[in-house]
Structure 1
Amino acid sequence: MGRPPVRRHRPSPNDGVPPDDNPTEILELDEPYDDLYDEEIEGDYRDDEDYDDYDDYEDYDDYDDRGSGSQDRASDEARDGVRDDRDDRDGLSLLDDSDEREDSEYVDEEDEEEPDTQREGRVRRLLKWAAVLAVLVGLSAAAFFGARELLGFGYEDYEGPGEDDVILHVEEGDVTSVIAAKLAELDVVASPEAFVKAGEDDERVLGIQPGYYQLKTKMSGEAAVRALVAEDARVGHLQIRAGTKLFDVIQPDESVTPGVFTLLEQASCARLNGEDTCVSAEELRKTADSVDLTELGVPEWAAEHAQDAPKGRKLEGLIAPGVYDIRPGGDAEEVLSQVLTASATRLEAAGLPDAAEQTPYTPYEILVIASIVELEGVEADFPNVSSVIYNRVEDGMRLQMDSTVNYPSKRPLLTTTEQDRLKVTPWNTYAMAGLPQTPIGAPSPQAIEAALNPADNEYRYFVKCEKDGRSCFNEEYEDHQADQKDARARGVY
């Protein structure tokens, strides 16, 4: 059973202050209500003779303050008669001056217009009442929010570390308030305020990155903040580096460089409520071989060529380098669809397929060239390596790239043996003319750019000649052999 949320309230400025030190301000009105009422009656109902007398006063408001006591008995009796007569009439409003003058036999038509001084006095009184009303509204609002703080009906919050596992998706552009709302919707916290208040003093909350995070339901705001900024909170996250192949590679020092399928398997793994969500690399490979690639998100310009690739290699080069976030708990198709759909957008941003129209190659062949460029040289040499590929293919020469010979090998080396170069595979450019059948790794945007725009030169040979990875390029084979000999002598390879 879940624990009921508790109510939190913010400290009030009046907490701990004795009652006598918090006096309630008393507002006093300038004019008593009864006086205002009498002035309204006495100022509006008078006979013609009395009205003329009132005009003799220079300040009409002064008369209102003195009242009727300054008049003689005859004037008082006349006004009393008018008031008694008015009280006998049903439906007459005290506030409707127009109707009163129209119905009264004591008011002349020439006197129907209200004097300016009387109208100004009424406006001033209305303004006073409006000011009083505004003050009362302000005091009522202050009393409400003060009571809210003192009585504790601020925001709800759970207690404890939580119960069931749940996945939160933080998207690009989500600010703290949006994250808090998502947490409340997932029942991770009892209210958005619980998370916002708990994270006010933790700057790490502002650094939460887009992705998937494993949390629990019914966590306190503080527990949710701690869990969300923890290093192991993010799940489904992977990074594919440029040149990464689909399968694992064992390096000369026996270390293993994970392939794309292994990276996807690791990213898919999470333990939700006691159950593992891992999708194996083998299951991912079989799915890629059996499902229509376009249904997985592969662009049509690439799918028509990749569909004919050898088993296990159909997706080579189609998952672009970069950071990906996949939601744990999905099957193999869902995992592949998430990364392939995102990758298609990245390939398009790199210029494919449109920019390939300016070259002699299809967009898929540009991807093949870019993958060789990526594995044969450092970024500074990319345009020259691309130029060598263009020039050799144009001249009908075999590419003779060691990277293509090494591609299907689990233990590739910088150099290859004669026996390796004699093996016939869909990728061995020593044993075959033209380009390999598929890419041989994941090319970076820089490598794709070089494949689309090779350097303008006549180079046909190159060899790694510097320990920083730089190569020496030549037009003639004799010069190429000389650079090879020099590089070996200096221990470059």
Structure 2
Amino acid sequence: MSELDLHWEDEERPRHHGRRRASEAQGKKNKKGRGGRTFLAFFLILVVFGGLALGVYVGIDKVKDMFSAPDYNGGGTGEVTVEILQGQLAAQIADTLQQKDVVKSAKAFVEAAKNDDRSRKLQPGFYNLRKQMKATAALTLLLDPKSRLINKVTLPEGLTWQETFKKLEEITKIPYADFENAAKDPKALGVGDVWYTRQDGKPRDPGIEGFLFPATYDFPPNVDAAGILKLIVARFNQEVEKIDFVNTVQSALHISPYEALVASSIAQVEGLDKDQAGIVRVLYNRVYTGKFPCNCLQVDSTVNYYLKITNKGAKPSTELLNSEIHNRNNPYNTHDFPGMPRGPISNPGTSALSAAMNPPKHDFFYFLAIDTQGNTAYAKTYKEFQALWDQAQKNGVK
């Protein structure tokens, strides 16, 4: 390029007449050489501009990426399972899709979601998608209910382990017996050692009751019974850790976590959420203060629990037989044996667990449902309890 500059300088410089002939002669003499330089300059121009063109051609995709997100074309191929978690943002979902090679770039999916109001209706769960899909096609498939692998199960508070397994069998189509077999080893499912100790010296129920935390679950596809129970127990562990259940009952109440779990399971089936803490205090007053006959709970819910798990069916308290209430072969008999029963009688939720941790301080020893809405009333003496019972019957309580 420097030679070209010099050449055009010679063409522009003024010439003197006295030297014109000599210059022309010299020009004729060097005509061939001058043409060589011109050709070289032209060649260099072609090389330079050709290189620029090549650079533009090679870098065009990179330039495009600066203004638009890389995206696949078409509906994709194959099959891949993707999980969308509760509360995930579009960017987080997009990252998952890119990692699974569903979309070419997370940015493409985010743009597709922004441009489609339906994306706000995207539900958590597992989906059958394809690899290398156009972002808009992937979003459309995620919004299609047929793409979602329905394995959602809602476990209400207060179910027994039997009722829980029946519910799981109904939704997942996994045989009830598979859950029974998996539940034979609670430790393998995640139940920790802290739940295997009692301070009252009574034997502990070896089963899974109490640890099947009530919640809504969306289980992964192809999971077996053991895998499902592990997820449920893991949720229980997360919840008790979140509310600091173990440390609180040990330090504040000076009882074992397992005994508090038993109390919460009774409160779960005996009263409304708002009344569970007061019910727990009655249970603790009966068992731990030494001021109630035989330190026995004397609650009918434990009798009914035994009837349920032995396939006899629960009954209203007024219909329970004396032989059922005082059955000494019933390990959950709380009318004749002191202390908490051998294990939980239901699977309590957060409200009942919290109630077992922080019961109010009062000296009531009796409680009962005072109306058909399930509201609880309390009494200090049996005479007061009888008066409340008469009122409850007038209110239609059976």
TM-score bucket of the superposed structures, by smaller chain:
0.7 to 0.9
Does 1:467 find its partner at 2:384? no
1:138-149 aligned at under 5 Å gives the runs 144=60
Separation (CA, whole Å) in 2 of partners of 1:197 and 1:153? 8
Paired residue secondary structure (2:296):
coil
Q: 1:158 aligns with which of 74, 77, 84?
A: 74
Separation (CA, whole Å) in 1 of partners of 2:230 and 2:236? 10
Structure showing greater radius of gyration is 1
Separation (CA, whole Å) in 2 of partners of 1:354 and 1:304? 14
Matched pairs, number: 347
Q: 1:366 aligns with which of 255, 260, 264?
A: 260
The range that moved more, 183-192 or 341-350, is 183-192
Paired residue secondary structure (2:161):
coil
Q: 1:399 aligns with which of 293, 297, 303?
A: 297
Does 1:421 find its partner at 2:325? yes
Give 1:325's aligned amino acid. D
Q: 1:458 aligns with which of 344, 350, 363?
A: 363
Does 1:379 find its partner at 2:276? no
1:162-241 aligned at under 5 Å gives the runs 164=79, 166-171=80-85, 174-183=88-97, 185-186=99-100, 188=102, 195-196=109-110, 199-215=113-129, 221-222=135-136, 224-231=138-145, 233-241=148-156
Separation (CA, whole Å) in 2 of partners of 1:454 and 1:216? 53
Given that residues 371 and 447 in structure 1 are in contact (C-alpha distance below 8 angstroms), is that contact kept between their aligned partners in structure 2?
A: yes
> 2:390 corresponds to which residue?
485
TM-score normalized with structure 2 length:
0.72
Separation (CA, whole Å) in 2 of partners of 1:301 and 1:432? 24
> 1:388 corresponds to which residue?
282
Q: CA deviation at 1:450?
A: 1.9
> 1:433 corresponds to which residue?
338
Separation (CA, whole Å) in 1 of partners of 2:247 and 2:306? 30
- Cα deviation code 1:183-211 (max 9, x no counterpart): 45545557667755654443342443443
Given that residues 70 and 108 in structure 2 are in contact (C-alpha distance below 8 angstroms), is that contact kept between their aligned partners in structure 1?
A: no
> 1:476 corresponds to which residue?
381
Separation (CA, whole Å) in 1 of partners of 2:131 and 2:307? 47
Paired residue secondary structure (1:286):
helix
> 1:286 corresponds to which residue?
181
Given that residues 171 and 210 in structure 1 are in contact (C-alpha distance below 8 angstroms), is that contact kept between their aligned partners in structure 2?
A: yes
> 1:322 corresponds to which residue?
215
Give 1:339's aligned amino acid. I
Given that residues 243 and 443 in structure 1 are in contact (C-alpha distance below 8 angstroms), is that contact kept between their aligned partners in structure 2?
A: yes
Give 2:281's aligned amino acid. S
Q: 2:169 aligns with which of 258, 265, 268?
A: 265
Separation (CA, whole Å) in 2 of partners of 1:35 and 1:218? 53
> 1:346 corresponds to which residue?
239
> 1:247 corresponds to which residue?
162
Q: CA deviation at 1:234?
A: 4.4
Paired residue secondary structure (1:247):
helix
- Cα deviation code 1:267-292 (max 9, x no counterpart): 5x3xxxxxxxx432221111211x3x
Paired residue secondary structure (1:399):
coil
Structure number with higher relative contact order (C-alpha < 8 Å, ≥ 6 residues apart)? 2
Given that residues 267 and 280 in structure 2 are in contact (C-alpha distance below 8 angstroms), is that contact kept between their aligned partners in structure 1?
A: yes
Given that residues 262 and 340 in structure 2 are in contact (C-alpha distance below 8 angstroms), is that contact kept between their aligned partners in structure 1?
A: yes
Give the superposed CA RMSD.
4.1
Given that residues 156 and 194 in structure 1 are in contact (C-alpha distance below 8 angstroms), is that contact kept between their aligned partners in structure 2?
A: no
Given that residues 189 and 230 in structure 2 are in contact (C-alpha distance below 8 angstroms), is that contact kept between their aligned partners in structure 1?
A: yes
Paired residue secondary structure (2:295):
coil
> 1:272 corresponds to which residue?
none
Paired residue secondary structure (2:213):
coil
Given that residues 405 and 427 in structure 1 are in contact (C-alpha distance below 8 angstroms), is that contact kept between their aligned partners in structure 2?
A: yes
1:179 and 1:476, CA in 2 relative to 1: closer, same or farther beyond 3 A? same
Give 2:154's aligned amino acid. Q
Paired residue secondary structure (1:168):
strand
Determine what percentage of the aligned residue pairs are the same residue: 26
- Cα deviation code 1:15-72 (max 9, x no counterpart): xxxxxxxxxxxxxxxxxx9997689x99xxxxxxxxxxxxxxxxxxxxxxxx97599x
Structure 1 unaligned blocks of 5 or more: 1-32, 43-66, 74-135, 249-258, 270-277
1:89-104 aligned at under 5 Å gives the runs none
